[in-house]
Amino acid sequence: MRIDILTLFPEAVQPMMDASILGRAAKKGLIEINCIQIRDFTENRQQQVDDYPYGGGWGCVMMAQPLKSCLDWVTAQAGPRKRRVIYMSPQGARFDQGHARRLVSEYDHLVLVCGHYEGVDERFIEKCCDEELSVGDFVLTGGEIPAMAIADSVCRMVPGVLSDPACYMGESHWDGLLEYPQYTRPETWEGLTVPEVLREGKHHDIGAWRREQQLIRTQARRPDMFAAYEPKTPEEARIIARLTGREKLTYDCRLATEEDIPDLLSITAEASAYMKENGVDQWQDDFPNAAVFRRDIAAGGCWLFTHEGAPAGCAAEYFTPEPDYPAIDGAWRTADDAAYATVHRVAVKAAYRGRGLADEMMQLCEDLALGRGYGSVRVDTHADNMPMQALLARRGYERCGVIKLTDTVEHDPFRVGYEKVF
Ligand SMILES: C[S@@+](CC[C@H](N)C(=O)[O-])C[C@H]1O[C@@H](n2cnc3c(N)ncnc32)[C@H](O)[C@@H]1O
């Protein structure tokens, strides 16, 4: 992984990137992090990098030319690679572990552009940047701290940087939960003793205690994450049911008809709102709309799930090849001419989240595909849709690559393709 940080303050950033674990990884040749001085690429004698904003207002805006020249130099130096140019911006998508995992798995060259002052000329962002990322809903004086945070979180997942993938796989945010509390010596400190289960050293009990603590902590500190978390084992489901007082419900399901379209839209409207709240840029452009459900119903695979007569969730299944799937940037797990089923529009109403419905819907679609003799099921979802990706991973789907939807009203047409082979 090579990371180039374009900044006006390389002397502040480079030492941090060369320290500790990342510094050692760079010495071993596992990663390369360079800080490039944007000012070196100015074309004026004063080496001016910013100017007053058109239309007036406070502060100065960084000019496009030095940034573009700096970026051109970096890309020429790095040569052809799987590159992503990212502008650090409080207006970007909120960076999280899912973004870090995507960046480390899909690219081997990141260019992180640090703005300063009032920001950067919009034309540079439009013309040269692939995406904008924010480290949170607050404003910093510059993009250097965000760039360091992103570089650090990405690089620690590069194979070999940490001694074992288990080092980061069990941590907070890896699988939708926070980590359990940690203790070290001495056994008693200021009257506080390490929990007995950890001192006894029984591996099974320690594992069970830690999982329970993760769930308790996540519920207390991050109710948003807890609500989105889908249990991975029956034991987790039991703990969640106990913590929430919400037992798993029983659902009825039937093929939807056109009369059900208002109910289907009410389900996906809640899912869209939930994605918006969580910074997922999917289903934000009048999609799925009534026309989409009409097509699903006509294709004979639009399922409506209800609980005591009330709409609870939906899913659509197709048994015909998807036109956009062959051009995947990656590789499906089955051959190009293999028959597969595809599941779309998996959505659950807020009141039924975390109550086993998404699994039940996926199970139905998988059983139907298997029953008809199909060898696999494919699903595509937005790269930021972590609850869906957690559901798919838990059910044995493998991430295959990125597809581009061509027939969509959504402004972000890229999706991650997953496949489960029976
Ligand atoms: C003072 S900020 C500019 C803020 C801009 N005027 C706005 O209101 O959106 C200067 C630079 O700091 C960086 N920055 C500030 N806050 C950030 C955040 N939360 N995440 C990522 N970058 C940020 C960006 O590179 C930005 O260009």
Does the CB atom of residue 141 touch ligand 1 within 6 A? yes
SS3 196: helix
Q: Is the dihedral of CA 406, 410, 414, 418 positive or negative?
A: negative
Using CA atoms, how far apart are residues 116 and 50, in angstroms rounded to an integer?
Answer: 9
Best residue among 8, 63, 111, 140 to mutate for probing ligand 1, ranked by most atoms within 8 Å of CB: 140
Helix (H, G, I), strand (E, B) or coil at 398: strand
Q: Check residue 210 and give its pLDDT.
A: 95
Atom of ligand 1 nearest to the CA of 91: 9
Q: How far apart are the first and last CA of the chain?
A: 34
What is the C-alpha to C-alpha distance for residues 282 and 275, in angstroms, rounded to an integer?
Answer: 7
Angle at 277 between CA 355 and CA 279, to 5 degrees: 110
Give Cα separations from 225 to 10, 103, 177, 203, 216 (angstroms). 36, 22, 7, 27, 12
What separation in angstroms does the CA of 361 have from each of 93, 287, 289, 358? 29, 20, 20, 5
- The verdict on the CB of residue 91 being under 6 Å from ligand 1 is yes
Cα(140) to ligand 1 centroid in Å equals 6
Closest Cα to atom 20 of ligand 1:
134
Query: Residue 280 has what pLDDT?
Result: 84
What is the reported pLDDT for 62?
A: 98
pLDDT at position 192, please? 87
CB distance 116 to ligand 1 below 6 Å: yes
The one-letter amino acid at 211: R
**With a 6 A CB cut-off, is 142 part of the ligand 1 pocket?**
yes
Which CATH architecture group holds 252-421? 3-Layer(aba) Sandwich (3.40)
In the chain, where the domains are located:
2-155, 188-244, 252-421
Ligand 1, atom nearest to 114 Cα: 25
Closest ligand 1 atom number to CA of residue 146: 21
Atom of ligand 1 nearest to the CA of 135: 20
Q: CA-CA distances (angstroms) from residue 198 to 188, 206, 209, 277, 297?
A: 13, 6, 9, 38, 54
**DSSP-derived pairing of the beta strands 131-134 and 83-94:** parallel
- Rounded Cα distance between 348 and 355, Å, is 10
Secondary structure (H, E, C), 328-369? CEECCCCCCCCCEEEEEEEEECHHHCCCCHHHHHHHHHHHHH
Does residue 382 contact residue 280 with C-beta atoms inside 8 Å? yes
Q: Is the CB of 146 under 6 A from ligand 1?
A: yes
- Residue 119 alpha carbon to ligand 1 centre in Å: 6
The superfamily in CATH containing domain 2-155 is SPOUT methyltransferase, trefoil knot domain (3.40.1280.10)
Q: What is the DSSP code string of 219-239? A: HHH-HHHHHHPPPSSHHHHHH
Distance CA 109, CA 73 (A): 14
- How far apart, in Å, are the Cα atoms of 336 and each of 165, 319, 328, 339, 340? 32, 15, 11, 9, 10
Rounded Cα–Cα distance for residues 321 and 154 (Å): 35
The length of the chain in residues reads 422
CA of 42 to the centre of ligand 1 (A): 22
pLDDT of residue 286: 86
Q: Are 331 and 401 in contact (CB under 8 A)?
A: yes
Nearest to 13 by CA among 31, 30, 36, 41: 36
Rg of the Cα atoms in the chain: 24
Exposure on the CB side of residue 185, measured as CA atoms within 13 A = 0
CA atoms within a 13 Å half-sphere pointing along the CA-CB vector of 131: 16
What is the position in ligand 1's atom list of the atom closest to the CA of 133? Answer: 21
Instruction: Check if the beta carbon of residue 106 is closer than 8 Å to that of residue 78.
Output: no
Mean pLDDT by 10 residues, the chain (422 residues): 98 96 97 98 96 95 98 98 98 95 96 97 97 96 98 97 90 93 93 91 94 92 88 85 78 96 96 87 89 95 96 97 95 95 95 87 96 96 89 91 88 94 95
For helices 144-155 and 20-27, give the axis angle rounded to 10 degrees: 60
Q: How far apart are CA 319 and CA 301, in angstroms?
A: 9
Burial tier of 308 (Cβ tally within 10 Å: 0-12, 13-18, 19+): exposed
pLDDT score of 366 = 97
Left (φ > 0), alpha (ψ -120 to 50) or beta: where does 166 sit?
alpha
Ligand 1 centre distance from Cα of residue 402 (Å): 29
**Residue 58 Cβ contacting ligand 1 at under 6 Å:** no
